[in-house]
Amino acid sequence: MAQILHPRATTTHATRKEIQRSKASVAALSRRYGLNPKTIRKWLARDSVEDVAMGPNGLVQPP
């Protein structure tokens, strides 16, 4: 199955897997991949390499 990335995506499934498997420090991974340390910590904390839905879920609550 092909991976669909939005134009501003900075990581791919392969990159995320490498981050999760690595024993290097957050700072070292940040430098290696050119990513913000917050992004590295996010992918280290996740169990999967799949993106999660962001933003509203489409349900509108009545006022």
Tell me: the pLDDT tens digits for 48-58? 888 777 677 66
Higher-confidence residue of 53 and 17: namely: 17
What ranges do the domains of the chain cover? Answer: 13-45
What b/e readout covers 27-52, taking b as 16+ CB neighbours within 10 angstroms? eebbeebebeeebbeebeeeeebeee
> What is the pLDDT averaged over residues 30-51?
92
Q: Is the pTM of this model over 0.95?
A: no
Structural contact between residues 19 and 30, judged by C-beta atoms closer than 8 angstroms: no
